[in-house]
Structure 1
């Protein structure tokens, strides 16, 4: 068998050619109303969303207090840079063409209380482990995006939460209010937006240091093991894979290939979050001095959910004009015509890598409804990246009051996603997971067999349940096996 890094190096040359081809297609624009990355600029400004109805926005008591907080954020440096987002868009275009796989992962909602350098490191480390497993199995590069450094605000089904006859504003994420059920805690506080910016900045500093400072080097793949996965089946599988990676690196060194090459010592890592709080997003929208185009500089990749993707709504007005790659969550309730219309509105020149469609349905509904959405997009000739979110369609509530997600349901939706795309002849481009590097007991099942009774042992999330490291790595092995099997079946055709 060709060593892992040799195979990846060869694939990288093919990927480079694909990316360059996509970039060449993306640069010419039909008019000044469309940016080189595909943004729809006609009549758009960073504040034009204010003329539309904005859903899921907190109701602040003091408008001046909010304005002061947003002005403070406007005066701060951007969290990410335009060139980084353009680099990501090229990588996403490559994945949409079937030459890479995209891994989203991180917290459901980041927390002020749980913010620690070790927690950031552990989640980052699990994502590295998953990426190595997926790269080894799929034979293509893995694009890594963290639901980190900005994933705070959460949409709510109701503005108010009622407990024992008392109604208070719903918890909307730590950048808005606090989860304790008291009037003071639930009051939307603009100062929390500034604190969220500060925590995002600190998180990004850590992520950049890990990615470029040697922590992510392939030569350290054996050092990424988490203590609580050491004696698990998946932990042993990972250790075996790591030893094979080491052997491949040793072989390359014997052939004279320098293991200190930057591609072996560093990795690209990008951030992503749901762009829900439009005032915050506007405050971090900046004009790129190189291209003279606007970017949402709160994260490299921004997405919107089904609750806020109304074609004439404020969120879609904001999204259409920023030059970041953007994602749209779609469910079984989505119809092909409206999805096609929305994609065209957000990407009028059909630029590769601009749009990611993230399905969230549950396995049964995905098999029934995803094919018609794929058909609609294919018939319209649109360039999109298909990603599955197997978490949100599989949330249940137990008799003892805990929200959880059965590991088996998450697994089944991912396998259904691969199955549908293989049958349709399209590319399953990535997976979007809510997970953590902490040893939590929030999702049931997996080889560690977390039971409903175990949930109370370490249930830390402030919002939705997350996979722990062992469960996340188990999914990576399962996905790698399926991607490898799909590749073999394609080769035999």
Structure 2
């Protein structure tokens, strides 16, 4: 049967997606999800698109961060609150460096599925299907856990809905008070190891004092007590994505109701594949991961397809580069040249995490903090040289005190990794490392001219 509309992806090649053995159970879950309220709405997606358009022009800066893969077992209010708090702290520090508003997008409330480098994994001579995220199968290494189970989509939706409810409350209910956020940041710089960042924190404090002296308190200015906070995830599991897609009652356009922004991974960006086919039809802003194997011709076709030929549709498409430290100069210029030749209005962001994953001497996957920072710096350098906008950064991070990435002022070592290594897939920056990175990116932006427009034209 030929599928049409938002279901047309079902006729395309499926990459990195599970094969469900019980079609009746799958159909029942999809029917149940189609009856559920969406998690986000058309007006919110359009507002994010307007904000992203500002990023593409250098009039705003994008901060995207959150979990590698959200865990059903680790889910809780503390986890959501702590990640939200750290992202707000990072955004405040980046705002001071960029001198433009920071668009805040979490990898949260839907980041449950993960692509894997191999379909199976082996332990003690036993081979089983790879773990693909809690929304697909279980982490435990046994046959029952690794069977894809469509019922997990219901649990994913339930946790995402609870997370969205909490995020909306925190974003508008006082936890985002600019004075509270700065107090948390001062707590970080009070540590002796973070003394290098106190000058920035003190300058921020002077700004806070001026705001209060001018009579602009959160009680008098709603903008100081609340923020716009958006959600995003990789749109990998298309049965889940389609089931939560709704038609805008005003325009009739398709809106992905699972999150404000959906991105396509480096492994699922086939121009004629299922993921591109699905994403080109929704009005939400779309992200596209671009790795070392992305050719100029690949990118040209993908940009045209995902923007539906409307290359001046600013805010529609975000290109997320992920090359690895020392490799940005080799790969990024050709992609920038391709986009500039097309005249496409895209957002450029840097994911310095995925290209810098190594196996430590102790056997853990980790990411050296200095490599993460190095890739960000190379990203800024290339854009400055080429006169284009370095629009944002994309981090895998958590508000929890984990030990998964080495380095930073807290000096996590190889030997420390086993202390609190809790990730289900890839290593994340912890709260301290995330905030330190924001201070260092702040410094980069100030050195390059003060805001993203000056930085690329200086």
The TM tier, using the shorter chain, reads over 0.9
User: What is the alpha-carbon distance in structure 1 between the residues aligned to residue 120 and residue 128 of structure 2?
Assistant: 5
Contact 2:85 2:181 in 1 (8 A): no
Matched, 1:369 2:339: no
How big is the shift at 1:243? 5.6
1:190-212 CA-to-partner distances (Å, cap 9, x unmatched) read 11110000000001111101100
Q: Secondary structure at the match of 1:457?
A: coil
Q: Any residues of structure 2 matched to 1:376-391 within 5 Å, and which?
A: 376-391=338-353
Choose the corresponding residue for 1:398, options 360, 370, 373.
360
- Detail structure 1 runs of 4+ shifted over 6 Å in the superposition: 226-229, 237-240
How big is the shift at 1:49? 0.6
Q: Runs of 5+ in structure 1 lacking a partner?
A: 1-42
Contact 1:168 1:186 in 2 (8 A): yes
Matched, 1:299 2:246: no
Match of 2:424 in 1: 462
Seen in structure 2, the aligned counterparts of structure 1 residues 242 and 275 have a Cα distance that, compared at 3 Å, is same
Match of 1:33 in 2: none
Match of 1:206 in 2: 166
Matched, 1:440 2:402: yes
Task: Give the TM-score of the pair, scaled to structure 2.
Answer: 0.94
Match of 1:21 in 2: none
User: What is the alpha-carbon distance in structure 1 between the residues aligned to residue 342 and residue 65 of structure 2?
Assistant: 30
Q: Runs of 5+ in structure 2 lacking a partner?
A: none
Q: Secondary structure at the match of 1:456?
A: coil
Contact 1:319 1:346 in 2 (8 A): yes
Match of 2:375 in 1: 413
Contact 1:120 1:203 in 2 (8 A): yes
Contact 2:63 2:102 in 1 (8 A): yes
Stretch of structure 1 that moved more, 395-404 or 292-301: 395-404
Choose the corresponding residue for 2:48, options 71, 88, 97.
88
Seen in structure 2, the aligned counterparts of structure 1 residues 176 and 228 have a Cα distance that, compared at 3 Å, is farther
User: What is the alpha-carbon distance in structure 2 between the residues aligned to residue 457 and residue 229 of structure 1?
Assistant: 24
Stretch of structure 1 that moved more, 312-321 or 162-171: 162-171
Matched, 1:147 2:107: yes
Match of 1:175 in 2: 135
User: What is the alpha-carbon distance in structure 1 between the residues aligned to residue 199 and residue 162 of structure 2?
Assistant: 34
Match of 1:310 in 2: 270
Seen in structure 2, the aligned counterparts of structure 1 residues 239 and 204 have a Cα distance that, compared at 3 Å, is farther
Match of 2:437 in 1: 475
User: What is the alpha-carbon distance in structure 1 between the residues aligned to residue 367 and residue 172 of structure 2?
Assistant: 34
1:207-227 CA-to-partner distances (Å, cap 9, x unmatched) read 101100011011322443597
Q: Secondary structure at the match of 1:409?
A: helix
Matched, 1:248 2:210: no
How big is the shift at 1:473? 0.8
How big is the shift at 1:168? 1.1
Choose the corresponding residue for 1:101, options 55, 61, 68.
61
Match of 1:424 in 2: 386
User: What is the alpha-carbon distance in structure 1 between the residues aligned to residue 136 and residue 158 of structure 2?
Assistant: 14
Contact 2:89 2:182 in 1 (8 A): no
How big is the shift at 1:263? 0.9
How big is the shift at 1:291? 2.1
User: What is the alpha-carbon distance in structure 2 between the residues aligned to residue 308 and residue 73 of structure 1?
Assistant: 24
Contact 1:107 1:148 in 2 (8 A): yes
How big is the shift at 1:153? 0.3
Contact 1:326 1:355 in 2 (8 A): yes
Task: Give the TM-score of the pair, scaled to structure 1.
Answer: 0.88
Seen in structure 2, the aligned counterparts of structure 1 residues 226 and 392 have a Cα distance that, compared at 3 Å, is farther
User: What is the alpha-carbon distance in structure 2 between the residues aligned to residue 249 and residue 166 of structure 1?
Assistant: 59
Contact 2:98 2:450 in 1 (8 A): no
Match of 1:349 in 2: 310
| Aligned residues between the structures | 450
Q: Secondary structure at the match of 2:417?
A: helix
User: What is the alpha-carbon distance in structure 1 between the residues aligned to residue 71 and residue 188 of structure 2?
Assistant: 23
Stretch of structure 1 that moved more, 120-129 or 242-251: 242-251
Match of 1:34 in 2: none
Contact 1:210 1:216 in 2 (8 A): yes
Match of 2:230 in 1: 270
Match of 2:96 in 1: 136
Stretch of structure 1 that moved more, 154-163 or 275-284: 154-163
Seen in structure 2, the aligned counterparts of structure 1 residues 391 and 128 have a Cα distance that, compared at 3 Å, is same
Aligned CA RMSD, in angstroms, stands at 1.9
Seen in structure 2, the aligned counterparts of structure 1 residues 291 and 410 have a Cα distance that, compared at 3 Å, is same
